[in-house]
Every structure is written in structure tokens, then in C-alpha cells.
Amino acid sequence: MEFYLSLLTLFGFRILLGLSAYVVILTGQISLAQAGFYALGAYTAGAASSMWGWPIFPAILLGGLVGGLFGLLVGFPALRVRGLFLVIATLAFTEIVRMVFLNLKYTIRVGDRTIGPAAAEGFRGITYYFQNGWSSLQIVAFTWFFVLVVLLAFWLMDRSRAGAVLRAVGEDELAASSVGINLTAAKVAAMTAGGFVAGLAGALYAHYATYVSQEDFGVLLATFAIAYALIGGTGSVLGPIAGVLFFSLLIDGLRFLGDWRNLLFGVLIVAMMNLRPHGIIDVGLVRRVASLLRPGGRKAYAGD
């Protein structure tokens, strides 16, 4: 039972990370900054609860707010460039964050323990859950509370004018600009929202892991954040969930293959990109399902 609860908790972090990339990808941008926001949320929330004595809920929110703030700050200069230049700029941001935490030393003594970021040794002692006797079930419930809130918020956004604006920018910037959409504002808003969600994910991860290090927040994490959304599809907020399940099956479900797993992993990714170039849950699938669910939709769809 503990194994499945642990897996559900990890799924929660990964889904939030995928959603943080999803909202940016809606605007047609590929960002590797999500790992940097994740790291900022982890270190900030860890310091808030273990060093400053904050309750867990405001500590997690502070991690998200710091991620969102840096999303806003990164958004203005970075989103003035496009394509590979944006990828390089956001990767540079993630590496800067990693280097800062690699050299940051800010520790305090609590009893017989030293708590806080200790440069290359990482940040130990983020033990709020365990100091307060939280069970694995409580940790899962707390994590998934944030997951469900973010999912609901993005689901509502997708069905609002804001979602239509983001998708319009992603599909055709020239057409979006011609109807009065402020491209910079839309992109910066998406980056800010993505930074906030990634910060939440990092804050939750830090309290679950109890120890974080700058090594946890490299380019591989940023790549997975993008992959969750792209492979899962951006047709719906369910896309990143599908992406997380797909990668979790490959990573965790094929361990029995040993080193052959890495080869099969690459083959399956290439196959998926060819079979479903727009992701598992793309816009076409969403429209077909919506058509089937409408009254009389089955007959209309059959007639097509």
C-alpha cells in the first residue's frame, strides 16, 4: 500500500510540472525554465517551513509565488525571442538558478541539527511532514489537493476567453495580433502561471523528499516537463496527465528490462511522435469526444 501511495504522490509532482509547461506551450513557446522555477519553489518553501517556522500551507504557496514572480521576470526579456533562442535563454536561466544554489550557504542550528541550504551539500532537514506525524495518505491527499485545484483552474481557463487567447497566440501570432491581442502580455501571463505551478510542484516535492540538491533540477527535469505536455497533448488539461502516465509506464514499468529499457524507451518515444505527432490527447480527439457527448452527437458523428 505504501508503494502505491508513494507512486500517487510522485504522479502529483509530475502532473503539476507537466501542467506548468502546458500553459506555456499553449502560446507556441518551448521553455526550459520550468526546472528553475521548480528549484526556486523547493528551496523557498523548504526554508519557510523548516527555518522560519511557517505553517505548511503558506510555505507551499510562498514557493509557488516565488516561482510565479521569477516567471514574470523571465517572461519579459525571454519571450521577446522565439524558437531555439528562447530554449537557450530559458536553459540559461535554469543553469543560473542551479549555480546560485550550488554556492548558496544559509544554515541555522536547530537543536543538534544544521538546517538550510549548504551549497554543494544540498538542503537537508525539510521534515515538516514527519515532525508533525503526517501519514502517507495525508501527504497524498495534501499533494493532490493542489493538483486538483490547478487542474480545475486550467480547465476553466481553457473554456474561457483567456484560454482562447493563449491558443490563438500559439496557432498564429500574426492573426492574433491583427485582432488586437497583446502577444507579449499573453506570453508573459502564461510564463507567470507556469512559474507559479512549477513553484508549487517544487515546494511539495521538497517536503516529500526532505532533502533537495541543485543536482535535482537540471536539464533532464526541464526536458521531462516539456515531454509530459507534448507527448500527452495540448488539446486538453488531461494531456499532461496522459504524458505522465505514458512516461511513468516506460520508466517504472520497464525496469525488469535492465539496460535494454533505455533502448526501448527511445524507440517508443520516436514511435509515439510518428503515430501521434500532436500528442495522445490532441485538439482533434477533444473535438471528436465533445461531439459524441453532445445530444445527438453519435448520430451526427456517424453521419460524417
Please indicate, yes or no, if residue 232 is contained in any of the structural domains.
no
Give the pLDDT confidence of 225-248 residue by residue, as tens digits. Answer: 988 888 888 888 888 998 898 888
DSSP H helices in 179-218: 183-209
At 115, give phi and psi (nearest 5°).
-120, 140
* 289 within a domain of the structure (yes/no): no
Report how far residue 196's alpha carbon sits from residue 201's, in angstroms, rounded to the nearest whole number. 9
Do the domain assignments include residue 26? Answer: yes
Beta-carbon contacts of residue 222 (< 8 Å; ≥ 6 apart): 32, 33, 34, 35, 36, 90, 91, 94
Q: Give the phi and the psi of residue 117 in degrees, each rounded to 5.
A: -60, 125
Residue 20 resides in a domain:
yes
Angle subtended at Cα 219 by Cα 25 and Cα 41, rounded to the nearest 5 degrees: 75
* Domain span including residue 104: 2-218
Query: Is residue 287 in some structural domain?
Result: no
Domain assignment present for 180 = yes
Number of domains in the chain: 1
pLDDT tens digits, 49-99: 999 999 999 999 999 999 999 999 988 776 677 777 888 889 999 999 999
* Confidence class for position 265, pLDDT limits 50, 70, 90: low
CA atoms lying within 13 Å on the CB side of residue 139: 28
Instruction: Count how many Cα atoms sit within 13 Å of the Cα of residue 289 in the half-sphere of its side chain.
Output: 9
**Residue 297 near residue 291, CB atoms below 8 Å:** yes
Q: Is residue 237 part of a domain?
A: no
In a domain, 248, yes or no: no
Predicted model pTM: 0.89
Residue 20 has pLDDT above 90, yes or no: yes
Q: Cα(53)–Cα(121) distance, rounded to whole angstroms?
A: 22
The pLDDT tens digits of the residues spanning 121-140 come to 999 889 999 999 999 999 99
Give, for 212, the enclosing helix (H) or strand (E).
strand 211-212
